[in-house]
Amino acid sequence: MTIQEAREKLTALQQKMAAFEHASSLIFYDGATAAPKGVADNRAQSLGILSQEMYLLGTGKETVELLEYLDANREELDDHGKREVQLMLKDIRMMQKIPMAEYVAFQKLMVEADDVWHRAKENNDWASFEPVLTKVFDFHRKIAAWCAPDREPYDYWLDRNEEGATMESCDRFFATLREHIVPLLKKVQSKPQLENRMLKGHFSAQDQEKFARELMELIGLPMDRVGLATTEHPFTISLGSHLDERITTHYHEDDFSNSMYSVIHEGGHALYDTGSAPELAYTVLDCGVSMGIHESQSRFFENIIGRSRAFCEYIFPVVQKHFPQVQGSAEELYRAVNRAEPGLIRIEADELTYALHVMVRYELEKRIFAGELEVKDLPAEWNRLYREYLGVEVPDDRRGVLQDSHWAGGNIGYFPSYALGSAYGAQYLRKMKETVDVDACVRAGNFAPIDAWLRERIWKYGSLLTPAEVFRNAVGEEFDPTVFTAYLEEKFTDLYDL
């Protein structure tokens, strides 16, 4: 086999994997959007078989030999080839450590868990979710033990979501946040609260959907390649490649800002994925590299841009066009969407209290993996931590431990990415402002220069660079969470006249 032949085989292999990914992702997406309620078993049947095919394809002799051959001759590969081989070998070596039957069982469990969670949340029924969530955590513990027997299981899962993240780095990061956010929030709470009544009323799902599509277009999404649907919990998914992206939202008919910010958030994810360089399609380098960098895009658009004064100035007349009943001014909108107030729901949280929601989840996951907490005690501990960190009483599990889809979807170790991503964004902003008049662009509804900045420094690379490389490449310095806390301090000092 010549290098050239091997390279071609590698390309074909990745294309095949992408087609399988397309199929599995679409079955999941369909399950969350269009599928009737009673077909989860049918979905699990097909996903089980497809995941077995993917396992066999990934760990098969031919694949392993090909990758080992290419790895041994890596000096003859270009940057893309090197990184493809590296990422694929990493994945395969992990997969090889998981027995196939367990791998398949895990995929099926995820379909079941997601299905059970949907109904449990709808019916506020923790008891029905507890057994399957116990299985989910047990499975994650087993997988970590197989794949990284010498590491703490939770460190394994943190690293899977954000390469390099550990409990130690997260503890440090959250300590820094806590150190700044807790006193800042105290000061905010000593001041008169900002008014947000203008966000409330009745806003039909259809009107909100039209607004959502205008928002998607505004931030620069290629509308012919990005779909919008409604789900219980908003998410973003790419199907086969960055050339077909879907975002979802959930319309709350009593508050237009809820879906507005979820669309901008998911839109940020979709900008990142669809911004991959065209030649990355159907390779393992396609789409965003990690959850932390992903969330840094979504939360940058949602908050740093979307909750800025400049954005409110641009969007206020657009809001009034779609919802003529909305009264007030751009400045009032700015204050309304930045009302800092400890609440129950993470995805509805303001920028200041958001990290506290993440800390609750981080804390709980950490203690479960450490064996200090059992799944059955999660609701009580959830409620206790919400009281302690946010000072709120959780009235029911639907608005408590059942609110997020992540655990049911097997996204364990994911939550810290939201806080990390939020913090990365403050450094992007500082750097971006050196060359782009961000406020002027946003105020004019001109996202092209902002998108161009992000595309050149982050999006186009897909997974070619590691998360740390992407970050350094974008801002030219190391990650420093105090840039984020300083941003919060400045913003909320102004807003609340501290």
Active site residues: 266
Tell the smallest beta-carbon distance from residue 270 to a copy of itself (Å). 11
Helix (H, G, I), strand (E, B) or coil at 253: coil
Give the type of residue at 493: T
Rounded CA separation 494/488 (Å): 10
Tell the smallest beta-carbon distance from residue 386 to a copy of itself (Å). 35
Q: Which residues of 243-260 are buried (b: 16+ CB within 10 A; e: fewer)?
A: bbbbbbbebbeebbbbbb
- Per the rule left: phi > 0, alpha: psi between -120 and 50, beta: everything else, 305 is alpha
Cβ closest to a copy of itself, residue 143 vs residue 239: 239
Half-sphere exposure of 431 (CA within 13 A, CB side): 19
Rounded CA separation 299/305 (Å): 9
Tell the smallest beta-carbon distance from residue 98 to a copy of itself (Å). 20
Cβ closest to a copy of itself, residue 247 vs residue 385: 247
Beta strands 236-239 and 226-230 are unpaired
Give the type of residue at 132: V
Handedness of CA 381, 382, 386, 389 (dihedral sign): positive
Cβ closest to a copy of itself, residue 283 vs residue 403: 283
Cβ closest to a copy of itself, residue 58 vs residue 240: 240
Tell the smallest beta-carbon distance from residue 43 to a copy of itself (Å). 7
Cβ closest to a copy of itself, residue 227 vs residue 342: 227
Cβ closest to a copy of itself, residue 212 vs residue 420: 212
Cβ closest to a copy of itself, residue 246 vs residue 491: 246
DSSP state string for 304-344: IITTSHHHHHHHHHHHHHH-TT--S-HHHHHHHTT-----S
Tell the smallest beta-carbon distance from residue 229 to a copy of itself (Å). 6
Tell the smallest beta-carbon distance from residue 266 to a copy of itself (Å). 14
Q: Residue 424 CA to chain centroid, in angstroms? A: 14
Helix (H), strand (E) at residue 238: strand 236-239
Residues that bind a copy of itself (CB under 8 A): 15-16, 18-19, 22-23, 26-27, 29-30, 33-39, 41-43, 45-46, 48-50, 53, 222-227, 229, 239-241, 243-244, 246, 282
Tell the smallest beta-carbon distance from residue 284 to a copy of itself (Å). 15
Helix (H, G, I), strand (E, B) or coil at 410: coil
* 99 CB-near residues (< 8 Å, 6+ apart): none
Contact 196, 327 (CB under 8 A): no
Nearest of 412, 367, 290, 86 to residue 94 by alpha carbon:
86
